[in-house]
Structure 1
């Protein structure tokens, strides 16, 4: 009986020892001290090289936000939005850069976020405090949300070069490229920057010019217009398309692209000139103002029959009108001289052309008689040069130049004075003076010194 009781006691003691060991072990492990949850937040701006001075207007400024905890992040991090007057704020990536570091024997989890700032004007700017909410693991299990706030930061921006203006046709970037292509509807082929082979162009064809700018450390919306607007002319009508803006990321590198395209419809033939293009940009990598250029085009456009008529119809009308007027004038002159004697100068020139030298001399004598009332050429002038010329004229036959010179000399030496010529013109046309009292004086002065034959006329 005693042995049985002793066995039961031993069994109870052993069972109690085992249960105590199993139950007390977790309590002992849970009682070990666990590190408290720690989380930090710091922010800073990407350094600007000291020799570059303040940041440039339109330059990309990177604001870094870095969270670190000795636990781990269990949910997404939220960054509160903020506004900064005169500065464009852009979070270009929804993903953070995650990494770990050993610190004082502990493993810390890090999240690094990037915000891009683009100042649009010169001046001093202050980034306000930014609230960041993170969710981290708790030592005893579960998660905990913590909101931290950055400290305000200041920076300055200015125009990087005196040649630039706020809102001007330029941008700040790095690794910027500019290229263009040409396409003609006449041959439906795309050409390179020089557009060396546009094919044969005719009126009605379309010329498409596409210009693309690509660069880093900027935004597509900050790239200015690449093809300036041209007003339509009689020769060319432009049709610009909506610009294509694209911001991409590849292997951590951001690339911004703007593509402008304009289609020109040729409306007239002839020489067509499309201007070259220039784009000024501030190279933020080296702190220098640079310029990219693209060549223009001078093209020859062939007319269609319809476009040729449309382009030159006014010239055709003018030429046709002139020819018609000339023909009518010739007919009127011919009809007039059917019943009237031809001018003595006309008869003189015709006689020279026909080599009728006797008629030439008779006409010369008649002209002298009409002007001086004399039939002698020697009476025209006592000038020795004239006497020599008239003597040669009367003796030579078959000398056309001599005959023409003689006629011209007679006209010069026997021409009416200015007043006399005007009076004769008035009588010929049939004008009447406004003051009749002056008519007698004018007529008298016009006829004084003329032969009787001229006065009778």
Structure 2
């Protein structure tokens, strides 16, 4: 196997790199950066009659291709209606000065509504040509056209031409049945034969004194048949009016001017005014009074039932029905409740807590002759002072308060005057201490003795 010197391998590598660079340079020279341009023209190119349609056709071209759809802008023109139909763009492919161009085309529709010269400013459109790092922008040229009015149409604003126009007015609800705060809706529908709906000017439904106006979005539609194509365009404008006070109101007549292309003259359609009265809201009686009774002056009474009262009355009736159907169970439940309440009351009257409360109340008043029966009444309810209770069972050893209490009780029964009767604080303390001692003794006696007790045998 032959081996080349390292210098020879390096030389080959340099030659190959140079060859690749040369081929890339030639490819770049053969494939220049893509070019883009925008064209625009008007159809028809000459003067037009106001009310007819003018197309602004825009072509976007590039020498490569478009990676995304262009951003078609919307714009406005004074005294004209501008629309960009939602239609598929047309594809373009043509040779210009020996170079192949590719692109798309769309048409704006402009409907002039006055006789004057219209100027269309340049449009800036963003495009996405292939072979570029990002999007680019192109501008269309400025254009203008002249719209004229036919003789006899001077002063019409706006100018609207059609071979036939019918207008319909609808009022909902009937004006005779309207109350304050209820809306009255006025709807006007225009239908123009052989004309797109976008060309029909809106019907003017303005504000009126004493009424609040709520405009609704207008609706347009084109009536198309399979063989005939566009038959007519239709536009509907609507607004609701609300009266905030009672009284009589009026919506003025609506005048619509249009140019009849068949007779070549101006025609006018006048929709009649709408008059209505708004009455204050009143409560509706439950029963209407016969007209004969009103005429004869018979005494009567108007009954008005509100929604809340009706609901409350229904709930009361439902409760009564449930009570009647369950009266046996309810009576048994009531008897058991009364019995339980009576037993609980008897237990409370015989409880130590009530006896202690009576003792405390009497002792605090300082009525000693009544305090002693209350003392025995409380002591007799327990077993801490014997059965029957005796003051001798109170442990007075080392307890001066207990000794003073016993001495006061004995002096009372002996008819002697005690040197000082104890107060409730001392009496309560003595009774609690002795009750606690007696309870501890009972608990000690209840405890079991030592287990596994054995007696030692006698010697």
TM-score, structure 1 as length reference: 0.39
TM-score, structure 2 as length reference: 0.39
